[in-house]
Copies of this chain bind each other. A is one copy, B any other.
Amino acid sequence: MAKNKKNKIIATSTKLFAVQGFDNTTTLQIAKESGVTEPLLYYHFKGKEEIFTDIINRIFTEYTNLIAALPLDTANEFEKVSNLFKLHIAIAENRPHDGRLIMANCPSKLKNDRHICQEIIYKQQEMVTSYLKDCLNKGNASGEFDAHPVDDLVIVILCLINGILRKKLLGKKESSSYEFTAIEFCRRALVPSK
């Protein structure tokens, strides 16, 4: 019973923060949609901000785990790039609220003071960046890629993934084969044609 309600609060808040943003979501709304009273929010969390921080922490932990679980023994390096795209596409489809919160920047209210939120986002970016960099370097070395300059290309590819993710999350639902076109787009840019 107990865990139930706390989990309900987290689920509701995740949805509301994702859809409406932090500033535009009220504690009363969270409480009502969770089927509890406001003070219970304050029994389980220190305040609205802590609810948010908790959620962000959970999401990024899960996200980090997903990245870490990507297979390293692929047939070729591009498959790793492709997997990174697919991972984000899957997030958009299976956990759109989490996805929106990954996309969104920290609410500006929380931006100061090296807020945990900022730190987490930074670390996660480091992680993905290093994953991709390693992969491009290996591909270059083996002749699979002709990817120069590596550092810039990493940024470009991440920007593309980011753009696709946003499109899926915020745009209207479309037929959506473009995600796979994006992967091909990428392949053609990286892999030299014979």
Contacts and interface: CB of A to CB of B under 8 A. Distances in A.
A161 interface: yes
A107 interface: yes
Interface in A1-32: 19-21, 23-24
Interface string A82-126: 000000000000000000000001011100000000000000000
B153 A185 contact: yes
Interface residues of A, number: 36
Given A20-B108, A185-B189, A188-B189, A167 B178 contact: no
Nearest to A153: B181
A37 B192 CA distance: 62
A166 interface: yes
A159 B188 contact: no
Contacts of A182: 156, 159
Q: Please give the count of copies of this chain that the complex contains.
A: 4
Interface string A44-81: 00000000000000000000000000000000000000
Nearest to A193: B193
A160 B21 CA distance: 24
Interface string A134-175: 000000000000000101110110111111101100100010
Interface of A: 19-21, 23-24, 105, 107-109, 149, 151-153, 155-156, 158-164, 166-167, 170, 174, 177-178, 181-182, 185-186, 188-189, 192-193
20 contacts: A21-B21, A21-B108, A23-B24, A24-B108, A149-B181, A151-B178, A152-B181, A153-B178, A155-B174, A156-B160, A156-B181, A156-B182, A159-B166, A160-B163, A162-B163, A162-B167, A163-B163, A166-B166, A188-B188, A193-B193
